[in-house]
Amino acid sequence: MIMIIICNIVVFAVLSLRMSRNKRFSINMQIPKIYESEQDRGFANYKVEKRYLRSTDFPELAALGVIACREAQVSDAAIAVQSLGTIDWTPTVDVIECAFLQSLDSSDLVEKFDTFGRQRLCITQKGLGRLTYLLCRPLQSSLGGLAADRMILKIYFLGLLDAAERRVVLSDLEECYRRDISKIRKKLTCETFSDGWSPQSLDRGLSRLKQDISWVTRLKEDMAH
């Protein structure tokens, strides 16, 4: 339980830096009522294949995760999704509203309802299944900016999954780190370095990966109790 609390605090601190300009929307990690019944999760509609999570999945994962965390007005949800953006992914609020959120609505992944004359978004059972599917898809690598951002989203939205699904996510993250550690060790044995790598940067990367995999392993063990 302590590791879970630490997990949420650390990742929220990272994300809050991106969301500091958004004063109207705060993500609430309470599990929505739709999560209370296992048969309502809708996960059976999506078979988790060993296909890696792609950079093109980032917008959908971020949008569904935001809406699953808290029902919100369309504009507020769009601002929150934009706040999760990266240097390589910086859509405007209008683009998020018109492209991503409308697409989710037309696909029945989210639905709109009126509260006191204001239109709000909430996730559907189908959307919950899709979110679970995306979170459980493995990462090919933890190296690089976009890969790191997807990893942060996986950890941040971990509380939206049940125990079995959390184990899947954390086990895949462990495997991802092991592959990256192996790649860096092989690069360190090379006589020449390419792709902008140097012995110093490889050593720093290896040290970071060892710390990260140790942290994920401890979190996984803590969640098992």
Q: Copy the structure tokens of residue 88.
A: 């390589």
Tell me the whole-structure pTM to 2 decimals.
0.73
Which of 133, 157, 77 lies closest to 110, judged by CA? 77
pLDDT in tens, the chain (225 residues): 444 444 444 444 444 434 443 444 444 444 343 333 343 444 444 454 568 888 888 889 989 999 999 888 888 888 888 887 665 667 788 888 887 888 888 889 999 888 777 888 999 999 999 999 999 999 888 876 666 777 888 888 999 999 999 999 999 999 999 999 998 898 888 767 666 677 888 888 899 899 989 999 999 988 876
User: Strand, helix or coil at 24?
Assistant: coil
Q: Which residues is 110 bridged to in the sheet?
A: 123
Buried b / exposed e over 67-95, threshold 16 CB at 10 Å, is: bbbbbbbbbbbbbbbbbbbbeebebebee
Distance CA 134, CA 123 (A): 15
Q: Other CB atoms closer than 10 Å to residue 154's CB: what's the count?
A: 24
Q: How far apart are CA 83 and CA 59, in angstroms?
A: 11
